Amino acid sequence: MSPSRATVWLVPILIAWLGLILIRRENDNPGEFILANNRSSLLLTSTPQTLLDIDDALVSESNPAREDGTFDYERCARLHNYLVAYGWMAHHEREVDDLQELLSRPSFFELEGYDLGVPMHRLNPEMVSFLQSIILPGDREGLFYWVDSMGVLPADLYFFDQENKLRNRERFVNLHVSWVDLGSHNIGLLFDQKRNRVAIPLVIENLDSISPVKDHLDMWFPLETMLTNWIHMLRIGKVTASPPEEEEYPPRVARLGSWVWQPYSPAQVDSAVDAMNRLSAAIEARMPSKSHLSVSRESPLLTDSELDAASVPENCFIRSVLSKVKTPRFKYIAPGLEVPHDAAAFAARQKFTGLTRHPESPTVIPPVLIFANQKRTINFNKEIRYLFFDPHDPIPYDDRDLIPVGLYSEFARRGESDLAEEGFRLLLPFEFRVELWDENSAKKSDGSLVPRGSVSELFQHGYFPFGGEWRAQRFERLLDRWRELVESGVWKVGKNGVKGGIDRFQEADYGYWKDYWIPPGW
């Protein structure tokens, strides 16, 4: 049939609860559809209050994401619209009642001259319904810290080795493009229409962490899980939103559009303190009661004056935690790692606090040795230099200097994107995977192997399934993992706390990687 003929085929498609009818028109653009209704009932019935009332849509243990392989597009649209509304109010300094203006914004298919990167017939009906149900973020508002504009771009070219089998439909769709500020090889939020799951490779270089899909299933999530994680980050204050500001150098904050990435938040201090208190309680509950140290459980582990003596900066994450956490009544909090009951010894062990830094560097939060091993050290090396110094800092150590091993807080440069002042680095006196190369070796959260020869990558992230590229794992997640090892009996507890030497961590390289692995998260 000639494409010049004015023949029109009516293709009825039942789209979930709306029952919209799409009309396919065969002409010079055979992929074009005419929508019987460009705006869903979700938008038509929304009010400023209902836009923000999304607690019942958040993913939780009692309200899990769909696991039947279908797309819960209405739930996802509500979460999506919440983020747009939140960012819009912050960006323009508007109030809740003003959201009526946002609700009148054209929907995806109502935009004049919209350019749909993926032809309509290559989208699943549920995806069409989702696009009809969402509010689009405006210029430089963005959906969230990592993703900017609505893309709906073809993405099968990134997965040339994957099976499609979707009857001439695009399997992978780039829903939101990552901010151009993040680099020149942008991708963003990808949607797999075959499995109804999303992943967020910010740039092309991240694709190896999510493809082939069959080998990286743990890195793909329901869209409602992705959006819930982002909303959680807003609610705890790790990400905030505010009006645009003039650029400054060195940068005070890491900003993308309306969204600001904070070094840490007060809520994260509280959750880390709670995690450490839970770990301490689990250890003490398994000790002989008469072996508890005679210290006040209610007193802080370290006072402000003791932290001053150790040159720990004011108003930083690790200082806030150590000055609030209850003092553990035992010696060993993990195999070979001691609780700092001696404040003078704690100060004397610090090799990276109080050092001179490059004068043009942004505010630097140095790594603090929290739980040390008293007997073992490691020679200063390139990995430690990379982790604990800015490239332009003067380096007071060389490979002849001995560095204490143990759990350090994360080195942070305020104003950088993706930093995690609430993070940690477990510096160990041995290298991983020196001889082993099989799949039973030590692994990071994303399932990738700890780099050969590393001394600091145990328990770390790898690829970030909810956004990011390189930040450290969160301190509270490590403490929760250690508590699980204690409660499950993998780590035994004796009269001095957790039994075993620091070499116990090397088990991760000898078939026990799951014990020394943290599930993927943000």
* pLDDT tens string 475-511: 999 999 999 999 999 999 999 999 999 999 999 999 9
The CA R_g of the chain, rounded to the nearest whole Å, is 26
What is the structure's pLDDT at 160?
Answer: 86
What is the structure's pLDDT at 284?
Answer: 97
What is the structure's pLDDT at 434?
Answer: 76
Residues 66-89, mean pLDDT to the nearest whole number:
97
The DSSP code sequence of 263-327 is S--HHHHHHHHHHHHHHHHHHHHTS-GGGS-SS-TTSBSS-HHHHHHTTPPSS-HHHHHHTTSBP
Prior bond of 250 cis (ω within 30°): yes
- In a 3-state reduction of DSSP, which class is residue 235? helix
Could you tell me which residues come within 8 angstroms of residue 466 by beta carbon, excluding any fewer than 6 positions away?
A: 200, 221, 226, 229, 230, 521, 522
What is the structure's pLDDT at 246?
Answer: 67
Note the Cα 389 to chain centre separation in Å: 23
What is the structure's pLDDT at 465?
Answer: 94
What is the structure's pLDDT at 270?
Answer: 98
Residues 93-121, mean pLDDT to the nearest whole number:
85
- Which range is least confidently modeled, 9-18, 186-195, 304-313, 502-511? 9-18
Residue 421 has pLDDT above 90, yes or no: yes
User: Which secondary-structure segment (H or E) carries 34?
Assistant: strand 33-35
What is the pTM for the complete model shown? 0.90
CB-facing half-sphere around the CA of 448: CA atoms within 13 A: 16
Q: Output the six-digit token pair for 69.
A: 């392989």
What is the structure's pLDDT at 108?
Answer: 84
Q: Give the model's confidence band at 156: pLDDT under 50 very low, under 70 low, under 90 confident, else very high.
A: very high
For residue 186, give the DSSP letter: B
Q: What is the pLDDT of residues 349-366, one digit of tens each?
A: 999 999 999 887 778 999
Q: What is the largest CA-CA distance in the chain?
A: 92
Residue 113 has pLDDT above 80, yes or no: no
The DSSP code sequence of 61-85 is SSSPPP-SS---HHHHHHHHHHHHH
Q: Output the six-digit token pair for 39.
A: 């705006």
Residue 16 has pLDDT above 80, yes or no: no
Q: At what angle do helices 73-92 and 223-235 cross, to 10 degrees?
A: 30
Q: How many CB atoms lie within 10 A of CB 217?
A: 12
Residue 333 has pLDDT above 80, yes or no: yes
Prior bond of 212 cis (ω within 30°): yes
Q: Output the six-digit token pair for 225.
A: 């899980």
What is the structure's pLDDT at 390?
Answer: 92
Residue 315 has pLDDT above 80, yes or no: yes
Residue 114 has pLDDT above 70, yes or no: no
Residue 313 has pLDDT above 60, yes or no: yes
pLDDT, averaged across the chain: 89
What is the structure's pLDDT at 30?
Answer: 35
What is the structure's pLDDT at 120?
Answer: 84
What is the structure's pLDDT at 69?
Answer: 94
Residue 31 has pLDDT above 60, yes or no: no
- Which range is least confidently modeled, 109-113, 312-316, 394-398? 109-113
What is the structure's pLDDT at 168?
Answer: 83
Residue 8 has pLDDT above 50, yes or no: no
What is the structure's pLDDT at 253?
Answer: 80
Which span out of 201-205, 289-293, 456-460 was modeled with the highest average pLDDT?
456-460
Residues 205-228, mean pLDDT to the nearest whole number:
95
List b or e across 311-329, with b for residues whose CB sees 16 or more CB atoms inside 10 angstroms.
ebbeebbbbbbbbbbbbbb
Residues 210-225, mean pLDDT to the nearest whole number:
95
Q: Judging by beta carbons within 10 Å of its beta carbon (0-12, 13-18, 19+), is residue 32 exposed, middle or buried?
A: middle
Residue 189 and residue 220 in contact, taking contact as beta carbons nearer than 8 Å: no
Residues 294-304, mean pLDDT to the nearest whole number:
92
What is the structure's pLDDT at 286?
Answer: 98
Residues 175-198, mean pLDDT to the nearest whole number:
93
Residue 310 and residue 355 in contact, taking contact as beta carbons nearer than 8 Å: no
Q: Which of 515, 445, 479 has the alpha carbon at shortest distance from 337?
A: 479
Residue 375 has pLDDT above 50, yes or no: yes
Residue 127 and residue 116 in contact, taking contact as beta carbons nearer than 8 Å: no
Q: Which of 314, 435, 451 has the alpha carbon at shortest distance from 383?
A: 451
Q: Which of 269, 335, 267, 339 has the alpha carbon at shortest distance from 297?
A: 339
Residue 250 has pLDDT above 70, yes or no: no
